[in-house]
Structure 1
Amino acid sequence: MIEKDKIKLTKEKREDMIVSIKEYFYTEREEELGDLASSHILNFIIDELALEFYNKGVYDSYQYMNRSIDDLLSIQKY
């Protein structure tokens, strides 16, 4: 991913996500991950996967807005 396209997180949000990753691995796999391993997983998600989720959100918003515009035209008075 190009650096300008990389999703940026606040320090607090990044820390929250690392905690979530650690909790997930412990709950689902009974594995205790450290901060470094969790941080690497988060970096992988951001670098390799996040852009797809972002683009899906943009496309879903586009579709919603198009449906909303069609609804708006339906209230015209003649």
Structure 2
Amino acid sequence: MSTIKFSSTETEQLVIKIQDYFAKELDQDLGQFDAEFLLDFFSKEVGAHFYNRGLSDAQLVIAAKLDNVSEMIQEGISEIEKPIS
């Protein structure tokens, strides 16, 4: 699997979140190196799954919006059709 790359600012923020989680939930201190290593591991091993799920969710939203637009166009055309006798 490919690794998702984060900016240095994003990495810093994520490392802090990982460290906070380990401290609060597992009562363990996790150093910056270990937290970055863990972030890299999850990014490489499961990141693509989350990324692909996000793309799939976005595709569903876009498809639903396009269906609505298509329905509105069809309704608009129907409204201006001339009757045939």
TM > 0.5 fold call: yes
Structure 2 CA distance, aligned partners of 1:24 and 1:47? 20
Aligned residues: 75
State the Cα distance separating 1:53 from its structure 2 match. 0.3
2:27 corresponds to which residue?
30
Structure 2 CA distance, aligned partners of 1:27 and 1:39? 18
Query: Percent of aligned pairs with the same residue?
Result: 25
Cα contact 2:3–2:40 (8 A) shared by 1: no
- Runs (4 or more) in structure 1 with deviation over 3 Å come to none
Using structure 1 for the length normalisation, give the TM-score: 0.89
Secondary structure at the counterpart of residue 46 of structure 2 = helix
Tell whether 2:34 aligns with 1:41: no
2:8 corresponds to which residue?
11
Which of the residues 37, 51, 54 maps onto 2:51? 54
State the Cα distance separating 1:36 from its structure 2 match. 1.2
Structure 2 CA distance, aligned partners of 1:20 and 1:62? 29
Residue by residue over 1:6-65, the C-alpha shift from the partner in whole angstroms, topping out at 9 and shown as x without a partner, is: 311111110111111000000001100111111111011110011000000111111111
Task: Give the letter aligned to residue 12 of structure 1.
Answer: T
**Larger CA Rg, structure 1 vs 2:** 2
Tell whether 2:64 aligns with 1:67: yes
Q: Using CA pairs under 8 Å that are at least 6 residues apart, name the structure with larger relative contact order, 1 or 2.
A: 2
